[in-house]
Amino acid sequence: AQRVTQPEKLLSVFKGAPVELKCNYSYSGSPELFWYVQYSRQRLQLLLRHISRESIKGFTADLNKGETSFHLKKPFAQEEDSAMYYCALSLTQGGSEKLVFGKGTKLTVNP
Amino acid sequence: KAGVTQTPRYLIKTRGQQVTLSCSPISGHRSVSWYQQTPGQGLQFLFEYFSETQRNKGNFPGRFSGRQFSNSRSEMNVSTLELGDSALYLCASSFRAGGLETQYFGPGTRLLVL
């Protein structure tokens, strides 16, 4: 079964420290993975997708097919990075895409 | 462009009642998906509509249904409400460009069933 696991419900770091949010997936095909972020009182929004290999707000994520992981990293955390982060796996069937989400990790960056 | 809008934002119902939630996608987006978010189960896919047709359905009972209109606006309906239906219901509209599809989420409708 397709599944996304985010092992940490809560993660707390200090400003300026490196941060890594873990994501593991279970999928037999070629995965398309995303990180979504939800800041306080804002809607869920796309942070980055693995296929674009881009860096957004200093965050990067590398797909490791051997370890079936897609961890989100940032070398120097900022207070404004405090938010809920969701890893998601895209499943496309007949042109229809559905996202399978992990349970999320709440990141708190302390001053 | 205006973002995805959902109405109402908050709703309180009692067990056994039914409820209809509405979603207006971003202009030009023809695909609308619905998700249920609860503390216990997280975000779970309900269904997806494209050009007034349901293309995909999640693992929810038949009490959960939806439809899409010719202007791409979508509604979802939950009949015979149960306490466990209390959740945040998110709608997302999506658009495919350059082979990539991106889902844009609305603010959600928070449903409380008493």
pLDDT at B93: 95
The rounded distance, in Å, linking the Cα atoms of B3 and B103 is 11
pLDDT at B97: 79
Q: Confidence class of residue A96 from pLDDT cuts 50, 70 and 90?
A: confident
Task: Indicate yes or no: CB of A99 within 8 angstroms of CB of B103.
Answer: yes
Exposure string over B84-109, b if 16+ CB within 10 A, otherwise e: ebbbebbbbbbeeeeeebebbbbbbb
A93 contacts chain B (CB < 8 A)? yes
DSSP B48-111: EEETTEEEEE-S--TTEEEEE-TTS-EEEEE-S--GGG-EEEEEEEEEEETTEEEEEE---EEE
Query: Is A32 in a helix, a strand, or coil?
Result: strand
pLDDT digits (tens, 9 = 90+) for B92-110: 999 887 777 889 999 999 9
The rounded distance, in Å, linking the Cα atoms of B90 and A44 is 9
Percent of chain A at pLDDT above 90?
Answer: 76
Task: Indicate yes or no: CB of B48 within 8 angstroms of CB of A95.
Answer: no
Q: Is the per-residue pLDDT at A94 higher than 80?
A: no
Q: Is the per-residue pLDDT at B54 higher than 80?
A: yes
The whole-chain average pLDDT of chain A stands at 93
Token pair 């995965």 in the structure block, residue: A31
Of the listed ranges A16-20, A25-29, A36-40, the least confidently predicted one is A25-29
Residue in B3, B32, B11, B51 with CA at minimum distance from that of residue B92: B32
Instruction: Calculate how close chain A gets to B72, using CA atoms only, in Å.
Output: 15
Q: Confidence class of residue A28 from pLDDT cuts 50, 70 and 90?
A: confident
Interface probe for A, chosen from B59, B105, B109, B110 (most Cβ of A below 10 Å), is B105
| Closest residue of chain B to A44, computed from CA coordinates | B105
pLDDT digits (tens, 9 = 90+) for A43-93: 999 999 888 777 789 999 989 999 999 999 999 999 999 999 999 999 887
Task: Indicate yes or no: CB of A46 within 8 angstroms of CB of B102.
Answer: yes
Alpha carbon B62 to chain centroid distance? 15
pLDDT at B102: 87
